[in-house]
Each structure stands twice: as structure tokens, then as C-alpha cells.
Amino acid sequence: MTDEEMERDYRSGLPGALGMIDTAISKIEAVILAMGVLLMALNTVINVVARFVFGNSIMFSGELNRILIIMITFAGIGYAARHGRHIRMSAIYDALPVGGRRVLMICIALFTSLVMFFLLYYSIVYILDLYSKGRVLPSLGLPVWIIYLWVPMGFFDYRYSILADRR
């Protein structure tokens, strides 16, 4: 099955407006991930050139890469779940009959969703704690809590993607 066929099958899994919103979120995530990886690569290359050619590093390069890695990681977990790109251990699943597979997939989806809910909750608590402390990034001057906003968004999107998965 080609990527286009998989994408078409996926899009047809959710009806109407919900399917359109889900497809839009998926496309936005793909752009965010691609831009994040490209920006991180560009930032790293420019910093290496600046260090070896001009003898000085870009002072905010490490902070920018930290922001981009958090963004890519947590925006990517929902994207991976939505497109079935996450790692699966399927030995038990493959050995079960069709009915058992359905039950196992429902259990896995519910358990994973529950874990993501708790991680979502604790990530919000962590962000509120960072906000109350008023920490800022030294070079960029951004409040630290802002860069961690991707964490609860990623957990929420992953949780949503698992529950909405129609495959």
C-alpha cells in the first residue's frame, strides 16, 4: 500500500467536519516537524561555521536547539500515532484470533490514553511550577515555561490520535 493510499484510507476513517479538522491538524504537524528539523540543522551548521571560521559561537544556538528538540519530540508523538509510525510489539497480537486482537487493541488504546492523560496533567503542573518561578532563558530571554507548552499539546494530541485511530 502506498503512502497516498494509506493517507486516503486514514482520512476516510473520521466522518465530516471531524475528519477535516483531523486532516488539517495532521498537515500542520507535518509542517511543524519538517520546519523544526530543517531549522535545527540550519542552526547547527551555521553555529559550527561561525565557531570555526569566525572563532565565535552563536550564543543562543544551544537554547534554540533545545526549543526545537522539545517541539519536534512532542509535536511528533501525535503525528507518529496518527500515522501508525510508533513502535509496536506485535508477537502476542499476531498470535490472537481477530476477536482477541480487537479486544487487545481496545485495551492498549485505553491504557495508553490513560497514561497520556496523566502525563498531560503532570506536564501542566510542571509548566505552572516553571511559570511561578519566573525562570528565563539566558540568551533569548524567553520565559522557560513557554518552550514547554509543546509537552501537554503533544500528550493531548497523542491521546486523541490513539482514541480516534480507525485502523
What are the tens digits of pLDDT across the range 41-89?
Answer: 999 999 999 999 998 888 899 999 999 999 998 888 877 777 666 666 6
Residue type, 56: N
What's residue 13's pLDDT? 58
Domain boundaries, the chain: 3-164
In sign, the C-alpha dihedral spanning 37, 71, 7, 114 is: positive
Cβ neighbours for 64, distance < 8 A, ≥ 6 positions apart:
39, 40, 43, 140
Instruction: Reply yes or no on whether the pLDDT at 1 is more than 50.
Output: no
Is the model's pTM score more than 0.75?
no
How far apart, in whole angstroms, are the C-alpha atoms of residue 72 and residue 33?
A: 6
Q: Which candidate, 41, 17, 33, places its Cα nearest to that of 82? A: 33
Look up residue 149 and give its three cell numbers.
507548552
Average pLDDT value over all residues in the chain: 81
Instruction: Reply yes or no on whether the pLDDT at 121 is more than 50.
Output: yes
Give the residue, 163 or 77, on which the prediction is more confident: 77
Q: Which candidate, 87, 79, 93, places its Cα nearest to that of 150? A: 79
How far apart, in whole angstroms, are the C-alpha atoms of residue 1 and residue 84?
A: 14
